[in-house]
Amino acid sequence: MKIGVLALQGAFIEHQHILERLGVETVQVRLPAQLEGLDGLIIPGGESTTIGKLAVDFGLLEPLRQFGKQRAIWGTCAGAIFLSKDARRDQPILGIMDIVVERNAFGRQVNSFEIELEMPFLPGQNGRVYPFRAVFIRAPLIEKVWGGASVLVSLPDGRIVAARQGKLLATSFHPELTDDDRFHRYFLELVQSPFEP
């Protein structure tokens, strides 16, 4: 299995380190040709406007849209914004996932927070499920999910922070900034699953 990490800007190294720890071959993607032969792709957190602008400059928008029609893509934070069909602002996005996001929904950098969330779809230990520590940094909220997308994780107050659509995955939080690799393993399962995007 070979997984690409979009390396235009943001926290791509952290994703790469977790994947390598799991024994997965990784590739830093900056050009369309580097998508060839990949089984899946991670779009990291960072600044979605910058990632979008660079994706336009490097001619990546259309190749990434095509990639997402057949293969798995996981967007974390800015990456989730980039996957959405509506970011409520005029900025370059892929527009391939049936979600509306609200950028910086939790306030500024100082309002960043961590919270343990129940994610029963992740593997437990000794037959027991245990929560996943979700890290939110100037995070977007998934305001609306429709069409082919469904809610995967919500905050205790019901606000949506992760969604899935076939092989497309969007999380407001940053699993690559924890030692817990269960979310990455979940993505690898998705990569290998027979689901249609």
Residue numbers at the binding site for ligand GLN (CB under 6 A): 45-48, 77-78, 81, 103-104, 137-138
Of 66 and 111, nearer to ligand GLN (C-beta) is 111
Count of beta carbons in the 10 Å neighbourhood of residue 21: 11
- 77 catalytic per annotation: yes
- 184 catalytic per annotation: no
Count of beta carbons in the 10 Å neighbourhood of residue 184: 20
Of the residues 14, 77, 102, 184, only one is catalytic, namely 77
C-beta of 126: minimal distance to ligand GLN in Å?
Answer: 33
Distance CA 101, CA 144 (A): 7
- 62 catalytic per annotation: no
Count of beta carbons in the 10 Å neighbourhood of residue 159: 14
Supply φ then ψ for residue 169, to 5 degrees.
Answer: -135, 135
In 3D space, the residue among 70, 90, 63, 25 whose CA is nearest the CA of residue 194 turns out to be 70
Of 77 and 142, nearer to ligand GLN (C-beta) is 77
Distance CA 3, CA 39 (A): 6
Of the residues 174, 184, 189, 196, only one is catalytic, namely 174
Of 104 and 193, nearer to ligand GLN (C-beta) is 104
C-beta of 70: minimal distance to ligand GLN in Å?
Answer: 26
| DSSP-derived 3-state class of residue 92 | coil
Of 15 and 138, nearer to ligand GLN (C-beta) is 138
Of the residues 176, 184, 189, 196, only one is catalytic, namely 176
Catalytic residues: 77, 174, 176
